[in-house]
Amino acid sequence: MAVTYIVYHVLRVFVLVFILLDVCSASFSMAVTSSSTTDTVLIVVDQSGQGDYKTIQDAINAVASNNSELIYIWIKPGTYREKIVVPADKPFITLSGTEASNTIITWNDGGDIFNSPTLSVMASDFVARYLTIQNTFGMSGKAIALRVAGDRAALYGCRILSYQDTLLDDSGRHYYYNCYIEGATDFICGNAASLFESCHLHSLATTFGTITAQHRNSPFENTGFIFVGCKITGMGDGTVLGRPWGSCSRVIFAHTFMSNVISPEGWRGWDDPSKERSKRVGWSRELSHDESAPFLNKSMIGGRSWLRPTPTHFKKHLPRPIEDGGN
């Protein structure tokens, strides 16, 4: 296993590319998904009763299985105390607030990483916009705020909050833009192929903190976490960029500002002394333009074939309320 750390400067902007256990070079597969040209179905969730549903889960439940239409669930401001699942047979759903600061999905659960998430996304072609997704379980153990296990998922302007294992970026190809992700231990973990662009990562750890725990176990897996144009802040000075959950873990940081919260060694092993390094300076070198280019755009996740714009035309074509059985 090879560990590579790369640091360079461009136009006085601090740029860091950090490759964690980059065992081999592998290209991310491309998927071709035709975008719909039809109007999007609008469903409104409002706790006051002025919408189509009072809870987010009820709105999701109302979507037909094996759905093929674009569904836009607009969530009016409020704090929604729900444990939510977007099932695998309900693709093409968007959950959108107006501002993350006033549209909050919250739950309090811990222990198992697959059962504790506040929001679990199992479906493909999912989008979330302007939401706060949080797990308030605290410092007592694993507590997932968001699990993303469907392919082709995108999140914009969301706040994802917990302490340990905040974001289980489980599997599939994902895109995170302008999101705020907060935690202390392995707070971005999993084995997805994901691009994080212009995101803010904040460590709550005062002494020992780890941002990522990527779970790639084979050089033939086209997975990894790529952070481009991000910012890292924190409360202490002992946080590292990551530790290898898998034997072939791959994590890349580029064009990223790092405050002094990041410890000089950069990363730590997973209770394996052979993976420990005292300083990353010895592995530093300057990347050429050609070397860095493949990591700095959406081609890594095939995003140009499936990322879709915000809909501008809606149609009111609602399924019947779930208590009517759709009849």
What is the C-alpha separation between 45 and 192, in angstroms, rounded? 30
What is the Cα–Cα distance from 16 to 5, expressed in whole angstroms?
Answer: 8
Q: Which of 22, 125, 169, 186 is catalytic?
A: 186
Tokens matching residue 48? 């006051």
The catalytic residue among 52, 165, 169, 170 is 165
The CA distance from 196 to 178, in Å, is 8
Which residues are 262's β-sheet partners?
239
Instruction: State how far the Cα of 66 lies from the Cα of 61, in Å rounded to an integer.
Output: 12
Q: Is 186 designated active site?
A: yes
| Residue where the block lists tokens 């140009």 | 304
Helix, strand, coil percent content, the chain, rounded in steps of 5? 10, 35, 55
Q: Whose CA is closest to 228, among 189, 191, 194, 256?
A: 256
Give buried/exposed letters for 149-168 (b at 16+ CB in 10 A, else e): bbbbbbbbbbbbbbbbbbbb
- Main-chain phi, psi angles of 183, to 5 degrees: 180, -170
- Note if 52 is an active site residue: no
**DSSP letter, residue 25:** -
Q: Which residues are catalytic?
A: 165, 186
